[in-house]
Chain A
């Protein structure tokens, strides 16, 4: 079983990348489980053709943990991908990080975390103990940082690298950084910058996903690109990413950058 986690800044395209990755893996005949770990619970929306999933925490709130069965929260979407959404509290109240912990405990107890590949889609703006839990407790063995060439996105990716480096010091922690995925915004010299960032933190760029209108069109049709435009170049990029992720054995303890070093790197690769 391969357990992959995609971390990155909110809005950077983690869910789009995760869903297309899961779809590509599902198409290849593998059993896939995608777990959305973001309170806004839209990670699996494209896989489910827009059908909103009842979130684990929503049902726990209504029925209590003992009243939640696996079939209540796990639904099968495109290409047989099983989908789960953790959910979270209303904005401005409670503790979403603790919600992630409670969700994993429930899924573990129900035996849900079984598949050839499990893809965790995790919000990376906040790397508190709760959101770091998938890494800390050994669920996410391979972490991919999803980033664009924007400084704030790189800043969030670097923060997650810090968390991985810190957690890797613990004897029982198996979590490692497997690579960096560029989800391009179309900024000049973007791939060059993100490649340099990946190298600087002791990792590598595993994929550069170009900006393509087909992604927005697929979303409007409530589908992944893999399903909406299976023959498109973009679908090919996601399939290639899925193949790479299955084959890769790269797992590193990152060396996060200081704030100054990160800013210098961004400056050095700024558009000419």
Chain B
């Protein structure tokens, strides 16, 4: 039984599981999310989405319904209320429906899986159980949602696909300000190998596109922490996997080599182009050479970057900002160096 033995402050990644799950479900572009719980749970997370998405150009506000569980539903069970909310959801003709449970719904034992059987078979529906009191946090909610959509993807009709291989980005951080920028950078890197992103699982993907997942030729996880999710995704046995977006100079080159190896492509030419590109970027910041700087310990990619720029790590150096999550690819390095230049 999960329990919380201490009142230690929790990192941001350990927030509410519902928020993590919602960050995935709300990113299905034609999807509708039903939050099975008190209205406050939905309201709180709509506020979170609003404030986050306002920073993202062209962001779409997701469609969210709360079935507004109150004391009566807690006492008598909330399955009837969920059923009515589902009828409302169906009448809005979404591409798919996600039902997210909450602490209250899980505590009183409502059976969401049983209730969603009322949804017509033609309308894909996914149940994501996210009682926060059961343990885990934002990341756990994100993982649970990705796994649930993975199961859904295996039930969807096989999507029409071109002859191009499908490279799937898995688990993009949808609340991250630079989520699309990172995806664009991966697209640029893949383009060096004449490849492209075939599926963003899940970011602004319509339901029908999720059906591409089982046939994916390569999975690129946003971060290694999503490894347990990848193990459960319904892909063909032996589907190659890269366990994180590239962070750092050499990691970006290694990413190209890993993609090349996974797709049976010669990556030498792409690597040469990218190395030359990195040298060009570094040259733009050559004026930073010799600066005494202070960087967080333990990140090899930062030490590598400092070395490439001839920065001088010193305890009394200027503290340099390093965003979390770390910037992706060479474009990320370029943006980071612009910030460093301002700091120096």
Contacts and interface: CB of A to CB of B under 8 A. Distances in A.
Given A94-B108, A95-B107, A95-B108, A89 B71 contact: no
A88 B75 CA distance: 7
Contacts of B109: 93
User: Which A-B residue pairs are the 4 nearest by beta carbons?
Assistant: A93-B77, A94-B77, A99-B75, A89-B76
Interface string B64-76: 0000000111111
A96 B77 CA distance: 10
A90 interface: yes
B79 interface: yes
A197 B76 CA distance: 37
A60 interface: yes
Given A89-B75, A93-B110, A95-B74, 11 more contacts: A57-B76, A60-B75, A61-B75, A88-B75, A90-B77, A94-B73, A94-B75, A94-B76, A95-B75, A98-B108, A99-B76
Contacts of A96: 75
A91 B22 CA distance: 32
A173 interface: no
Interface string B101-116: 0000001111000000
A93 B79 contact: yes
22 contacts: A57-B76, A60-B75, A61-B72, A88-B75, A89-B77, A90-B77, A93-B76, A93-B77, A93-B108, A93-B109, A94-B73, A94-B75, A94-B76, A94-B78, A94-B108, A95-B74, A95-B75, A95-B108, A96-B75, A98-B71, A98-B74, A98-B75
Contacts of B73: 94
Contacts of A57: 75-76
Nearest to B78: A94
Contacts of A93: 76-77, 79, 108-110
A57 B73 CA distance: 11
Contacts of A61: 72, 75-76
Contacts of B108: 93-95, 98
Contacts of B71: 98, 102
Interface of A: 57, 60-61, 64, 88-90, 93-96, 98-99, 102
Interface string B31-50: 00000000000000000000
Contacts of B75: 57, 60-61, 88-89, 94-96, 98-99, 102
A234 B73 CA distance: 43
A92 to B, nearest CB: 8
A219 to B, nearest CB: 29
A79 B109 CA distance: 42
Contacts of B110: 93
A99 B108 CA distance: 12
Nearest to B111: A93
Q: Which of A60, A93, A102: most chain B Cβ within 10 A?
A: A93
Contacts of B72: 60-61, 64
A89 B71 CA distance: 12
B211 to A, nearest CB: 35
A94 B109 CA distance: 7
A233 B78 CA distance: 49
Nearest to A95: B108
A57 B74 CA distance: 12
A43 B109 CA distance: 27
Contacts of B79: 93
B78 to A, nearest CB: 8
Contacts of A98: 71, 74-75, 108
Nearest to A88: B75
Contacts of A60: 72, 75
Contacts of A88: 75
Contacts of A89: 75-77
A64 B220 CA distance: 52
Q: Which of B71, B78, B107: most chain A Cβ within 10 A?
A: B71
A18 to B, nearest CB: 23
A154 B107 CA distance: 29
Contacts of B107: 95
A128 to B, nearest CB: 11
A99 B74 CA distance: 8
